[in-house]
């Protein structure tokens, strides 16, 4: 997610959310749908952890849905449990690394800044708590499954690791100080413009466009095209997107504009496309993942073009310049990108991604490596000069499918 604010004279802002197809080159985030047990939801509403049994029984009997046993409607197939456990086992070391970094920053902070730096630790703890919640849910679901011996053992091991990397707040820490703003209300540090993005390169690209006199949408285009380069696992011109634009200088009916750039299914795709080439429920064969039929028609560029036609100030071609320059000159691979390159073994199966994300020894690129992408620079330059039709039709589109 990227947020762009341009406060040059009157506040306007654009919120751009990008979604890549589930079968994008890097990790897929297909997860089973997890829903809270209805009884838990009902009890949460009471805000009373000491509810008596007779009250609980009354609640259950008043609603047929609540009379079902916990998770009765959300039982997960064992194959989905294995997928979830594999992902947690894979991602937990990365989260432990982030936690260690946050704790190191807290330890190095001065006494007056301890509370603020502990806030960073709490953010990492919230991510770990998501793992804990998923593991506890899995533990409950498989406790009586005779075929889940290995899964139960792995669940318990992962729960112990979660506890090991979760620190307690120091007794000497005044947690109320965490609520203090890091910047005073009188600060003029951001009184002109601000760009918030998932990667520093992208934020700098957006800020560069704002300093040239561009609008929030102009900055959004610069940020998104840069994210497509430096954070391909999460963003890209080959995916879909939403864009929300607010302009207080317009009439009330025209202040808020929404642009839908989500993907649409290819014309030749059918509802049974994946089903017909799936041997095991829950596992899609690679033959289904690669190729034009498995990917939604990208809508991100179309949404950006529509928004630029209505809210853009700088020429369409100019807002692509930061990303094109970075693609040609190179960017430093981040720790996050290194992590996703390392864990996604499927990248080795595709020659194009193998050549791009691995070195000459066949090893995943490491953080700090200067990575150039002249091919993406060429595509962006054509989109900048020829318009989005260069992406949706012609030789670029043919190579995609």
Clarify whether residues 291 and 231 are in a common domain. yes
Residue 180 located in a structural domain: no
* Closest to 18 measured CA to CA, from 199, 240, 206, 312: 240
**Do the domain assignments include residue 183?**
no
Is residue 131 within 8 A of residue 95, CB to CB? The reply is: yes
The band of 392, judged by pLDDT with boundaries at 50, 70 and 90, is very high
Rounded to the nearest 10°, the torsion over CA 29, 33, 37, 38 is 130
pLDDT at 11: 55
Total domain count for the chain?
3
Q: Is residue 364 part of a domain?
A: yes
Q: Do 257 and 342 share a domain, yes or no? A: yes
Strand, coil or helix: 228: helix
Give residue 3's pLDDT band: very low, low, confident or very high (50, 70, 90).
very low
Please say if the pLDDT value at position 401 is more than 50.
yes
One domain for residues 151 and 261? no
23-32 pLDDT, tens digit each: 322 323 333 3
C-alpha to C-alpha distance for 296 and 266, rounded to whole angstroms: 6
pLDDT band at 191 (very low <50, low <70, confident <90, very high): low
- Confidence bin at 190 (pLDDT 50/70/90): low
Same domain membership, residue 90 and residue 57: no
Q: Do residue 228 and residue 344 come from a single domain? A: yes
Same domain, 199 and 114: no
188 falls within a domain:
no
Q: Return the higher-pLDDT residue of 3 and 202.
A: 202
- Residue 122 is predicted with a pLDDT of 86
| Residue 363 is assigned to a structural domain of this protein | yes
Quick check: is 362 in a domain?
yes
Res 65: pLDDT = 39
Q: Are residues 199 and 284 in the same domain?
A: yes
Domain end, chosen from 14, 45, 73, is at: 73
35-39, 258-262, 263-267, 289-293, range with the lowest pLDDT? 35-39
Residues 362 and 220 reside in one and the same domain = yes
Q: Which of 137, 198, 209, 127 is nearest to 166 (CA)?
A: 127
Question: How far is residue 173's CA from residue 169's CA, in Å, rounded to a whole number?
Answer: 7
Residue at a domain's end among 126, 142, 175? 175
Expressed as residue numbers, the domain containing 169 is 74-175
Dist. CA 15–CA 244, nearest whole Å: 5
> What are the tens digits of pLDDT across the range 12-70?
677 766 654 433 223 233 333 334 444 434 444 444 444 343 443 444 344 443 333 44
Residues 230 and 375 in one domain: yes
pLDDT (tens digit, 9 = 90+) per residue, 298-313?
A: 999 999 999 999 999 9
**Residue the block writes with tokens 């179309």:** 302
89 and 158 both lie in a single domain: yes
What tens digit of pLDDT does each residue of 112-162 get?
A: 788 778 888 888 898 899 999 999 989 988 888 888 899 999 999 999 999
Q: What percent of the chain lies above the pLDDT cut of 90?
A: 44
- The pLDDT of residue 113 is 80
Residue at 382 is within a domain: yes
Claim to verify: residue 243 and residue 356 sit in the same structural domain: yes
Does residue 182 belong to any structural domain of this protein?
Answer: no
Residues 6+ apart with CB under 8 A from 153: none
How do residues 205-236 score in pLDDT, each as one tens digit?
999 999 999 999 999 999 999 999 999 999 98
For 116-154, letters b (16+ CB in 10 Å) and e give ebbbbbeebbeebeebbebbebbbebbeeeeebeebeeb
Which DSSP letter does residue 334 get?
P
Q: What is the pLDDT of residue 400?
A: 80
Given pLDDT bands bounded at 50, 70 and 90, which one contains residue 350? confident
End residue of a domain, out of 13, 48, 73: 73
pTM for the full model? 0.62
Domain match, 268 and 376 both = yes
Spatial separation of the C-alpha atoms in residues 12 and 247, rounded to whole Å? 5
pLDDT averaged over the chain?
Answer: 79
């Amino acid at each position: 997610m990227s947020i762009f604010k341009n406060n040059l004279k009157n506040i306007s802002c654009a919120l751009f959310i990008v979604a890549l197809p589930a079968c994008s080159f890097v990790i897929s985030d297909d997860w089973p749908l997890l829903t809270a047990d209805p009884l838990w939801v009902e009890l949460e509403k009471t805000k009373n952890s000491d509810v008596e049994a007779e009250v609980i029984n009354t609640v259950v009997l008043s609603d047929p849905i609540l009379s079902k046993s916990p998770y009765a409607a959300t039982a997960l197939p064992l194959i989905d449990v294995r997928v979830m456990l594999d992902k947690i086992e894979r991602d937990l070391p990365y989260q432990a690394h982030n936690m260690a970094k946050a704790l190191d920053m807290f330890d190095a902070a001065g006494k007056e800044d301890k509370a603020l730096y502990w806030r960073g630790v709490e953010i990492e703890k919230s991510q770990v708590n998501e793992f804990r919640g998923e593991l506890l849910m899995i533990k409950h679901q498989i406790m009586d499954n005779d075929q889940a011996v290995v899964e139960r053992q792995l669940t318990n091991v992962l729960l112990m690791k979660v506890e090991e990397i979760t620190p307690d707040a120091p007794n000497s820490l005044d947690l109320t100080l965490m609520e203090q703003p890091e910047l005073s209300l009188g600060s003029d540090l951001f009184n002109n413009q601000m760009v918030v993005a998932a990667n520093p390169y992208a934020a700098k690209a957006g800020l560069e466009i704002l300093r040239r006199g561009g609008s929030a949408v102009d900055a959004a285009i610069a940020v998104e095209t840069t994210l497509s380069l430096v954070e391909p696992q999460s963003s890209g011109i080959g995916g879909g997107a939403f864009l929300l634009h607010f302009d207080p200088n317009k009439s009330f009916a025209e202040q808020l504009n929404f642009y839908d750039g989500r993907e649409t299914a290819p014309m030749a795709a059918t509802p049974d496309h994946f089903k017909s080439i799936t041997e095991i429920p829950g596992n899609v064969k690679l033959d289904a993942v690669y190729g034009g039929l498995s990917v939604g028609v990208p809508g991100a560029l179309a949404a950006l073009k529509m928004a630029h036609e209505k809210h853009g100030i700088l020429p369409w071609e100019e807002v692509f310049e930061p990303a094109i320059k970075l693609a040609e000159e190179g960017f430093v691979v981040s720790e996050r990108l290194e992590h996703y390159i390392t864990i996604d073994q499927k990248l080795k199966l595709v020659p194009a991604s193998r050549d791009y994300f691995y070195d000459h020894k066949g090893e995943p690129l490491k953080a700090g490596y200067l990575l150039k992408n002249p091919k993406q620079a060429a595509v962006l330059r054509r989109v900048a000069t020829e318009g989005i039709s260069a992406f949706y039709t012609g030789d670029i589109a043919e190579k995609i499918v």
